[in-house]
Structure 1
Amino acid sequence: MAEGAVIENLSTRKLLYILLLLALAQIAFFAIGALVAPVPSSSMEFEMVKCSDKTRGTAGHWFHVRPPKCDVIEDLSTYQPSSFDLREIVFIAQMPHARGGLQLEYSPWFQFLLGLMHVEVGYSDNFKYVPGSKLMLEVRMGVRTHASAPDAWEEYVDSNVTRTLDCTIDDSKRSEGNTYQCETLDLFELGSNNYPFYLLNVRIPIDREGCMRDPIGTPNCQIGMVKELHVVAIHQNGGFTLVWLWLKTLLCPVVVAALYWFHRRLSSLPRQRLLLEKAILALGAALVVLDAPLEWLSLFARLPCLLLLSDLRQGLFYLVLFSFWLIFAGEHLIDDPHLNDLTAYRKNLALVGVASLSLLVYDMAERGTQLADPFCSIWSTERGTTLAYVTIYVALACTLAYFAFLFYKIMVVWNTIRRKRAAHIYRTSENRRLKVEGVIYRFKFLMLFTLVCSALTIAAYFMRQFGEASLHGESTDESILTHSTSAFFTGTFGMWNIYVLLLIAMYAPSHKQYQGAQGLIDENEDLMDGERTESNPLTTFLKPATD
């Protein structure tokens, strides 16, 4: 008898032991996120201090509050600038805070640093705000290490930032002293967090001649009376990074070893690999890329591309995983004449390709450009924001359509198996009937596990994309990425590893021989009409049956 897959030949007792062990591992992944890891991200808000600079920026000085180097402006409404361009007013934010006399610091464990800005605009009859006006900021970001003197700031980036200022106010509050409700603006995003201290010096210059010539097209002409600037800095929690890295470090060698074992088993067979086996190999390789704990390198080296690289690895895994599920379901459609042919899935894989391409466009437009300028953002312009939302929502729409199609395809497989089983299983011998029943139940379990895995994966996918959009929208404080529980993320990550390991274990060629195998060989030969080929485990038993 040709050797079948482990899913066919593994005893029920051993299978139950394996499933119990994997179930305990899955519970452990959720428990680690719930009991050990903190929430993925935290935020810190800074009210920018206002300083007067008589040199109007020509001297290139840094302004900071620790140690004090700032002629503080208490109230902008009473401050009398010496010139119309307002370049003598400097807004500063020194990050992170000092608390209880102790200077806090950022750590490479925080992985990334995202800066958002909130502009406080006061209602004024003299300086009127016009909806959709352009806000331009001259921004300098300085960095400092532990070895540097407290006032020795090194320039990290110098950039001009233009954002659209969208504010509203109730008609009942249109009087002096009241404040507009303004949307949060993107300011910067650092793909790694390799400096303990950061300093922002921001100016809001006004071009007087430009405002007289074209007040609508010239930035800062119709932004109203700016009272305060606030910066919100969001970073990944170091405790979550530690848990996440150790999970990857422990799981990656396990997946590599399992994938190598699966490859060795396939190489020992006297036939070419089936499409399903190639898909499992590709899925295992994509999981190895995802599991590789490259983040350890960011603790010792400055890697501004780390955030983009993490997104690309995640996107690659989603692409291979979603493609695998279509192949996995399709290869078990027993009556399908196009089995073991990848070209037969080209239309089915179109949705996966469109979703992946959409997110690739977003990542390259957003985080790709931020490698050169962290203050550059696709969300900074109306067209860029539209493009960002379009790519995200197209990807989500394709994902929903994909899940509906996958569910339909699995139901077709399920009904086909049930029909074949009810019509023909009684014709086989008792030994073969028990064998087929066992394979069917095991396959049904894998199908159910696939549905659960796909549902949770798509839920995690939605959480990530909606969380990304809400960070750049009006719901920054309620973003999933800053207030979600870590249990869902660690549990989903563990589930991916468990699912792939289970597939590798179940679909690897088995070396086990059965007592009474000759009887099965004879029966298979009669039913196969002289055709002796290997296929996937379920097809091995049910394909010979005809209506």
Structure 2
Amino acid sequence: MAVGAVIENLSNRKLFVIFSALLVVQILFFLVGAWYAPSPSSYMEFEMITCRDETRGFSGKWIHRDNCEQIVLSEYTPVSYDLREIVFVAKMPHARDGIELEYSPWFQFLLGVLHVDVAYSEHFKYVSHAPLELEVRMGYREKGSQKNEWNELTTSNVTRILECTIPDEEKKKGGTYDCDMLDLFELGSSSYPFYLINIRIPIDQNACQYNPLSSNCQIGQLTGLRLIEIHQNGGFTLIWLWTKTLMTPVVGACLWWYYNRINQLARNPLLLERAILYLGLSLAILDFPIEWISLTHRVPFLLLVSDLRQGLFYTVLFSFWLIFAGEHLIDDTTRNNIKSYRFNLSFIIIASGALLIYDLIERGVQLYDPFYSVWSSPTGSQIAYVAIFISAICILAYFAFLLFKIVKVWTTIKNKRSAQLYQTSENRRLKVEGVIYRFKFLMLFTVLCAAFTIIAYFMKQYGEAQLHGDEARSGFLTGSTSAFFTGTFGMCNIYVLLLLAMYAPSHKHYRGATQLIDENDDEIIDDPSNQHTESNAMTTFLKPSTD
């Protein structure tokens, strides 16, 4: 006795009900994001106040608004040659309408970018690609503690490359440069309600006179610093977590049901069945709402864990698409063998490995130094560029190959139908047509899911790049994109659940692998050896002809 897949044996009425229900669920995912979820991210902008510290930081005291000896930078005359006596201060978040705001653990992450205001000066000249060295110190305050009882979170010396431009007509007294945003810090969790930042720009005026290449001697005349802080909206986090929480038991139950089905077979699971199982497992890992822990505990590694989970899911998903198409095309000698896909999967492995290295360097170091950026050093920038370039080339090659596979599957279906399908009985034609249409639906759904997954991935990457650049305040992730992300999340879940349900072995048995279609299918299907290699009538129908 042979066992077919559910997709082959399920009645059209039941399939229609299932697909209709899934369509309704998909629409609900979009509507939840559109109606209830705010934009994924918001920002706050801080004009950093300028203070004088006569101890030049050696006292170790925190400089804040209440003890700040505020100065106007353009009118200030330093009392020494060491400009570390000037401190730029920002308290986050700021007060609004006299009410002191607080950060919430629901914000999930905090990202800070710095804008440097540089005025044109004949005396203090800006040099292109000037390295800007900063001494930064970040403190935090617990809820209920004294107003200015700050604890040190981290201290770091960082270097950023200052890129500024100015039109020729602005090169006069009072003209200002247009400078790019600089990455300042990134916290993987919003663990404290209040933060304080002190920034010093060490400049030795004596050293600058003798050696213009000394530290911070080429950054021009600074007139101020502006800090832009970006965080994930708490309302979006709430919707996102509840969505994942509701989907986790559904995915887990369906995965367990599928595993039991293939485990009850008299044969070993086929490659396609194992691929679907691993895809479901990676989705369960991605959906598991580990973010709930961050609401009660400080987990700075959460951002890294989220990236790793997402990377795992994309790697398994992209690998599955190749196997899903390839198992219907390759000949019997190589089908059901993972070694047949070594060359195809190498693109995915190389791209995933390159991005993993980049992410481990960036996110890994930020666990203990949130002011670190892989782009801040020439070596780090080269590693990042190489990783992104390699992954981009591999991804483009992968999708070109996947498109070729899908087109070939479509061509195979068309050729087989015209060559063999209509040469036999009407009963056989109707049954095979049903299998073909169901397979086509899954293939179209695969293409649609792939398109939305790819778009969502690149939109997320583009949005995160905007957060680190000049479009931080008006970027993609700070716009109305919640419906797209919740909709894409729902589509990925529905797609995997549909695969688990439709490709699970059916409880219905039939005589021989050919009985689904007709006992007269000896030319196409009646090969006893196929019972050990084929999982459904669709793969058998698409088998290359041996004539």
Question: How would you bin the TM-score normalised by the shorter chain?
Answer: over 0.9
Equivalent residue of 1:126, what SS?
Answer: coil
Structure 1 counterpart of 2:100, one-letter code: Q
Q: Please identify, of 240-249 and 511-520, the stretch whose mean Cα deviation from structure 2 is larger.
A: 511-520
* Alignment correspondent of 2:440: 444
Q: Is the 8 A contact 1:164 1:382 kept in 2?
A: no
Structure 1 counterpart of 2:396, one-letter code: L
Q: Could you list the per-position Cα deviations for residues 246-299 of structure 1 after superposition, in whole angstroms to 9, with x for gaps in the alignment? A: 010000110010010000000111001100000001000100110000000000
* Alignment correspondent of 1:164: 161
Q: Is the 8 A contact 1:389 1:469 kept in 2?
A: no
Equivalent residue of 2:505, what SS?
Answer: coil
Q: Could you list the per-position Cα deviations for residues 104-156 of structure 1 after superposition, in whole angstroms to 9, with x for gaps in the alignment? A: 11000000000000000111111111111111111110100112100100000
Which TM-score applies when normalising by structure 2?
0.95
Q: Is the 8 A contact 2:432 2:517 kept in 1?
A: no
* Alignment correspondent of 1:106: 103
* Alignment correspondent of 2:223: 227
Structure 2 counterpart of 1:200, one-letter code: I
1:315 deviation in Å? 0.4
* Alignment correspondent of 1:85: 82
> How does 1:60-459 map onto structure 2 within 5 Å?
60-65=60-65, 68-73=66-71, 75-208=72-205, 210-212=207-209, 214-216=211-213, 218-333=214-329, 335=331, 337-459=333-455
1:181 deviation in Å? 0.5
1:213 deviation in Å? 5.4
Q: Is the 8 A contact 1:143 1:195 kept in 2?
A: yes
1:542 deviation in Å? 4.7
1:512 deviation in Å? 2.4
Question: How far apart, CA to CA, are the structure 1 residues paired with 2:542 and 2:409?
Answer: 12
Q: Please identify, of 145-154 and 531-540, the stretch whose mean Cα deviation from structure 2 is larger.
A: 531-540
> How does 1:396-545 map onto structure 2 within 5 Å?
396-513=392-509, 522-523=519-520, 527-531=525-529, 533-534=531-532, 535-537=534-536, 538-543=538-543
Structure 2 counterpart of 1:203, one-letter code: R
Q: Is the 8 A contact 1:334 1:539 kept in 2?
A: no
* Alignment correspondent of 1:38: 38
1:201 deviation in Å? 0.7
Q: Could you list the per-position Cα deviations for residues 402-430 of structure 1 after superposition, in whole angstroms to 9, with x for gaps in the alignment? A: 22221110110111111111111134433
Q: Please identify, of 424-433 and 536-545, the stretch whose mean Cα deviation from structure 2 is larger.
A: 536-545
Q: Is the 8 A contact 2:331 2:544 kept in 1?
A: no
Give the percent of matched residue pairs that are identical in Structure 1 and Structure 2: 61
Q: Could you list the per-position Cα deviations for residues 448-506 of structure 1 after superposition, in whole angstroms to 9, with x for gaps in the alignment? A: 00001111111111112222333333433343222251111111111110000000111
Q: Is the 8 A contact 1:143 1:198 kept in 2?
A: yes
1:354 deviation in Å? 2.0
Structure 2 counterpart of 1:148, one-letter code: S
Which TM-score applies when normalising by structure 1?
0.95
Question: How far apart, CA to CA, are the structure 1 residues paired with 2:165 and 2:541?
Answer: 68
Using a 3 Å threshold, how does the CA distance of structure 1 residues 395 and 476 change in structure 2: closer, same or farther?
farther
1:389 deviation in Å? 3.8
1:178 deviation in Å? 1.3
1:540 deviation in Å? 3.4
1:331 deviation in Å? 0.5
1:386 deviation in Å? 4.3
Question: How far apart, CA to CA, are the structure 2 residues paired with 1:109 and 1:393?
Answer: 34
1:397 deviation in Å? 3.5
Q: What's the Cα RMSD here?
A: 2.0
Question: How far apart, CA to CA, are the structure 2 residues paired with 1:394 and 1:24?
Answer: 40
Question: How far apart, CA to CA, are the structure 1 residues paired with 2:515 and 2:282?
Answer: 40
* Alignment correspondent of 1:58: 58
Q: Is the 8 A contact 1:90 1:202 kept in 2?
A: yes
Q: Is the 8 A contact 1:41 1:234 kept in 2?
A: yes
User: Which consecutive residues of structure 2, in runs of 5 or more, have no partner in the other structure?
Assistant: none
* Alignment correspondent of 2:28: 28
User: What number of residue pairs does the alignment pair up?
Assistant: 543
Equivalent residue of 2:135, what SS?
Answer: strand
